[in-house]
């Protein structure tokens, strides 16, 4: 009997203790709920980025409580090399006031270091007891390097051309770098650099930034047809980069104009014409196509060619063209200049022909006849009336 009573008393005591424990647990749950009334939310918990890039998370700070909550924001990184910014309204923020049942947005920007191993990195954003775990997957191993690349490393053209290449200089380091630009070209080649419309010999590039560089290459006058490779360098005391550009010379263009006997003169009378045999020579190493003949002459003169256009002249060869120069009827005796020009799309040359206008022989004979007629008339009069 006593044993049964004791068991009943123990059961009652245990029930009371359990009831009190449940009540205490109930009070404890409400405290946690009050402490966790603030929630942090972002739809993207794990993002991927390469070294040197930046990632921005948009995070909502939600107040599920019944009164305005003052929220202290915190950030914890796995590695101290990572830099971050937490902003709201365009300014850095570390504490927020969020009304009951409302939310505020903050932006967390993470800067992936340039020198970093490939892998997944963990972070935590905290706000008054609420923790938001985030992860960034670095897609490749970061390096301390400089990159110099060209979009089109090979350009073809003739020797008289200026070859312009566009290159991009990237600073993949954590510091600002001033790069000295240089070219290892053969003697006689002229290589210059420009950026932003100005000629430069060095460029300053900010960390994880890039700048565009124009490389201008001028070959020497004596260059032969062929492909020429020019190394380009961008160097500092701590890092450097190199690329190569290729210039494909199709040949040199040269042209000259002269006469068949190399005498640059002609004779003509007023209103008559004279033919001049011209020789157009290709003095370059590339073929000349569609060589047009033209002339500049005094007013009233006419110049024509039996071949107004020469279709092709191979290197080292010549083409013969006959020019007909017709003087004006009003041209007075004297020396005149007629300029003959031979021009292609690449080159042109001219020759100055001195044309001497002489008096017509017909007028000379007419003068002689007049003199003879006058002399004959005098002789006749003398014979007829001289004896009287």
For the chain, the straight-line distance linking the first and the last C-alpha, in angstroms and rounded, comes to 212
How far is residue 288's CA from residue 313's CA, in Å, rounded to a whole number?
Answer: 5
pLDDT class for 387, splitting at 50, 70, 90?
low
Is the pLDDT at 293 greater than 60? The verdict is: yes
Beta pairing, strands 130-138 & 46-49: parallel
φ and ψ of 207, to 5 deg: -60, 135
pLDDT tens string 349-361:
999 999 988 865 5
370 or 193, which is more confident? 193
The Cα-based distances of 274 to 269, 271, 298, 326 in angstroms read 9, 10, 15, 6
Tell me the two tokens of residue 249: 């010379």
- Percentage of the chain modeled with pLDDT above 70: 87
CATH superfamily of 38-138: Immunoglobulins (2.60.40.10)
pLDDT for the residue numbered 221? 80
Structure confidence by residue, pLDDT tens digits, 209-231? 999 999 999 999 888 889 999 99
**Helix spans in the chain (H):** 2-35, 361-385
Q: Which residues contact 176 (CB under 8 A, 6 or more apart)?
A: 204, 205, 206, 207
Task: Report angle CA 309, 314, 320 to the nearest 5 degrees.
Answer: 45
The whole-number pLDDT of residue 162 equals 92
- Residue 353 CA to residue 185 CA, distance in Å, equals 43
Which phi and psi angles does 189 have, rounded to 5°? -85, 140
Q: Where in the chain is the domain with CATH 2.60.40.10?
A: 38-138, 145-249, 255-362
Confidence bin at 199 (pLDDT 50/70/90): very high
pLDDT over 80 at 234, yes or no: yes
Architecture of domain 145-249: Sandwich (2.60)
Query: In this structure, are residues 150 and 165 in contact, taking their beta carbons and an 8 Å threshold?
Result: yes
pLDDT of residue 359: 67
The residue with tokens 């022909």 is 353
The residue-averaged pLDDT of 316-335 equals 90
pLDDT, tens only, 91-108: 999 999 999 999 999 999
pLDDT the model gives residue 365: 66
Q: How confident is the model at residue 266 (pLDDT cuts 50, 70, 90)?
A: confident
What is the rounded CA–CA span in Å between residue 329 and residue 184? 64
Residue percentage of the chain with pLDDT more than 90: 56
Percentages of the chain per state (helix, strand, coil), in multiples of 5:
15, 55, 30
The pLDDT assigned to 253 comes to 85
> Quick one: average pLDDT of 141-168?
90
Closest CA to 215 of 152, 275, 271, 264: 152
pTM: 0.52
Predicted pLDDT at 349: 93
Q: What is the mean pLDDT of the chain?
A: 85
Q: What is the pLDDT of residue 14?
A: 41
DSSP 329-374: TTPPSEEEEEEEEEE-SS-EEEEEEEEEEE--HHHHHHHHHHHHHH
Q: Which of 14-18, 266-270, 275-279 has the lowest mean pLDDT?
A: 14-18
Count of residues making up the chain? 388
Ranges 191-195, 254-258, 313-317, most confident: 191-195
Q: Domain 255-362, what fold?
A: Immunoglobulin-like (2.60.40)
CB-count exposure of residue 334 (10 Å: 0-12, 13-18, 19+): exposed
Look up residue 295 and give its two tokens. 């002339």
Outline where DSSP puts E strands in 128-239: 130-138, 145-150, 154-157, 163-172, 177-183, 190-195, 198-200, 202-205, 209-218, 226-235
Whole-number pLDDT of residue 96: 92
Q: How far apart are CA 92 and CA 98, in angstroms?
A: 17
- Whole-angstrom distance, CA of residue 228 vs CA of residue 189: 10
Question: Other C-beta atoms within 10 Å of 114: how many?
Answer: 21
Could you read off the pLDDT of 3-52 as tens digits, one per residue? 444 444 434 444 444 343 443 333 333 223 334 589 999 999 999 998 88
């Amino acid at each position: 009997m006593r044993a049964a009573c004791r068991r009943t008393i123990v059961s009652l005591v245990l029930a009371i203790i359990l009831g009190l424990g449940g009540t205490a647990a109930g009070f404890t749950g409400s405290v946690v709920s009050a402490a966790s009334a603030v929630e942090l939310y972002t739809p993207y918990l794990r993002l991927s980025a390469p070294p040197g890039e930046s990632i921005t998370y948009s995070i909502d700070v939600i107040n599920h409580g019944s009164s305005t909550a003052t929220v202290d924001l915190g950030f914890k990184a796995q590695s101290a090399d990572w830099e971050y910014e937490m902003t709201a309204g365009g300014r850095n923020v570390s504490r927020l006031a969020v009304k009951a049942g409302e939310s505020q947005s903050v932006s967390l920007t993470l800067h992936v270091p340039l020198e970093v191993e490939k892998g997944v990195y963990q972070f935590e954003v905290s706000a008054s007891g609420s923790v938001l775990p985030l992860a960034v997957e670095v897609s490749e191993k970061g390096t301390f390097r400089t990159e110099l690349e060209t979009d089109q490393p090979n350009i073809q053209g003739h020797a008289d051309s200026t070859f312009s290449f566009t290159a991009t200089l990237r600073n993949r380091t954590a510091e600002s770098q001033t790069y000295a630009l240089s070219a290892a070209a053969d003697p006689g080649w002229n290589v210059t650099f420009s950026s932003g419309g100005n000629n430069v010999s060095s460029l300053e590039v900010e960390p994880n930034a890039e700048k565009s560089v124009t490389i201008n290459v001028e070959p020497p006058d004596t260059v032969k047809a062929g492909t020429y490779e020019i190394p380009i360098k961008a160097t500092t005391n701590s890092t450097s980069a190199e690329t190569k550009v290729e210039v494909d010379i199709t040949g040199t263009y040269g042209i000259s104009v002269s006469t068949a006997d190399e005498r640059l003169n002609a004779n003509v009378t007023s209103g008559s014409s004279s033919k001049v045999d011209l020789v157009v020579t290709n003095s370059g190493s590339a073929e000349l196509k569609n060589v047009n003949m033209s002339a500049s002459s005094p007013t009233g003169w006419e110049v024509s060619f039996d071949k107004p256009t020469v279709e092709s002249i191979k290197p080292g060869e010549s083409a013969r063209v006959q020019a007909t120069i017709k003087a004006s009827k009003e041209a007075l005796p004297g020396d005149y200049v007629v300029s003959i020009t031979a021009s292609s799309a690449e080159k042109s040359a001219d020759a100055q022909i001195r044309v001497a206008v002489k008096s017509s022989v017909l007028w000379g004979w007419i003068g002689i006849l007049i003199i003879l007629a006058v002399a004959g008339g005098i002789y006749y009069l003398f014979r007829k009336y001289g004896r009287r």
